[in-house]
Amino acid sequence: TLSGKTAVITGSNSGIGLGVARELARAGANVVLNSFTDRDEDHKLAADMEAEFGVVVRYIAADMSKGEDCRALIEKAGACDILVNNAGIQHVSPIEDFPTVKWDAIIAINMSSAFHTTAAALPMMRKAGWGRVVNIASAHGLTASPYKGAYVAAKHGVVGFTKVTALETAKEDITCNAICPGYVHTPLVDAQIPDTAKKYNMTEEEAIEKVILERQPSKQFATVEQIGGTAVFLCSDAAAQITGTTISVDGGWTAL
Ligand code: NAD
């Protein structure tokens, strides 16, 4: 059980981040949710989770594209035993047309934010004598696809930074690992299914199997609960000697 631990999950008002936050709360951790917005519904999400799981859940707005904001998130959390670097965006374009602003935003949000939050969280973990850093990378942290230059570069960067964090904390009760999901069933992916089916003149089932999950041999999406469960495992005693590595949750993608 993670009771008494505080988990900070970046980019956690939807999708994988929210799924991971929910599984950590289910395992007993107090949770800090985050995104760049500061809406009533963000704070309601925290209040609802608090009622559902009986743990303390706060929502703290911070823009993960800004280093100062990343560090401020950890400071405002006040404690950070478990850090999950999850915030991420995507842009798809050939290299020669790739907008520089998109490149910079993806590198900042998907990669550099993990540097800033980790730098702010490690002193707290050291003081507590325990810590777990879980970076949500991607199958694209281990393999590449065309037109995803910034995303693939950032995710490979996250995997590299995961190893460095693990080495710098190796002698302490602190671990750092990356989860590498393949395609995960999130609202974002869900929204692409009808358009993809239309574009290829297929049924939605065919579009999922032949187009969206082309590279996922299981032909099934991973779920946010499965990513959350993997994060909980990485925070467990059974995983205390797992550090500086990646766990793929990709239905066989990287085995191909
Ligand atoms: P999503 O769009 O549902 O979630 C992204 C989260 O990041 C949201 O909560 C969003 O508000 C937040 N966010 C975006 N920009 C931010 C910023 N500047 N500051 C703070 N928060 C910000 O997408 P998702 O699919 O849940 O993706 C979450 C992570 O998982 C990403 O790092 C993504 O690369 C990774 N991932 C997703 C898949 C997949 O199939 N969905 C596969 C592999 C890896």
87 lines ligand 1 (CB under 6 A): yes
**Do 121 and 131 form a contact (C-beta atoms < 8 A)?**
yes
Mark whether 175 and 215 lie in a shared domain. Answer: no
207 lines ligand 1 (CB under 6 A): no
Residue 236 lies in a domain: yes
Residue 188 pLDDT: 79
ipTM of the complex: 0.99
Mark whether 80 and 190 lie in a shared domain. Answer: no
Residue 17 pLDDT: 98
Mark whether 200 and 212 lie in a shared domain. Answer: yes
For residue 36, the 8-state DSSP code is S
Residue with the smallest CA separation from ligand 1 atom 23 is 15
Nearest CA to 29 out of 41, 44, 12 is that of 12
- Backbone dihedral angles phi then psi of residue 102, each to the nearest 5 degrees: -70, -45
Q: Is the pLDDT of residue 191 over 90?
A: no
Residue 52 pLDDT: 98
Mark whether 172 and 139 lie in a shared domain. Answer: yes
Q: Which atom of ligand 1 is nearest to the CA of 90?
A: 34
Give 29's pLDDT tier (boundaries 50, 70, 90).
very high
186 lines ligand 1 (CB under 6 A): yes
Mark whether 113 and 197 lie in a shared domain. Answer: no
Residue 256 lies in a domain: no
Q: How far apart are alpha carbons 99 and 102 in whole angstroms?
A: 5
167 lines ligand 1 (CB under 6 A): no
Q: Which atom of ligand 1 is nearest to the CA of 113?
A: 19
The residue range of the domain holding 201 is 185-220
Residue 1 lies in a domain: no
Total domains present in the chain: 2
For residue 212, the 8-state DSSP code is I
Q: Is the pLDDT of residue 190 over 90?
A: no
Identify the CATH number of the domain in which residue 20 sits: 3.40.50.720
Q: What's the whole-number mean pLDDT along residues 67-86?
A: 98
Residue 189 pLDDT: 86
Mark whether 100 and 112 lie in a shared domain. Answer: yes
Mark whether 191 and 171 lie in a shared domain. Answer: no
Mark whether 124 and 202 lie in a shared domain. Answer: no
Annotated active-site positions, please? Answer: 151
Q: Is the pLDDT of residue 192 over 90?
A: no
In order of 158, 208, 224, the CA distances from 21 in angstroms are: 20, 27, 10
In order of 12, 70, 125, 200, 218, the CA distances from 42 in angstroms are: 10, 18, 27, 36, 34
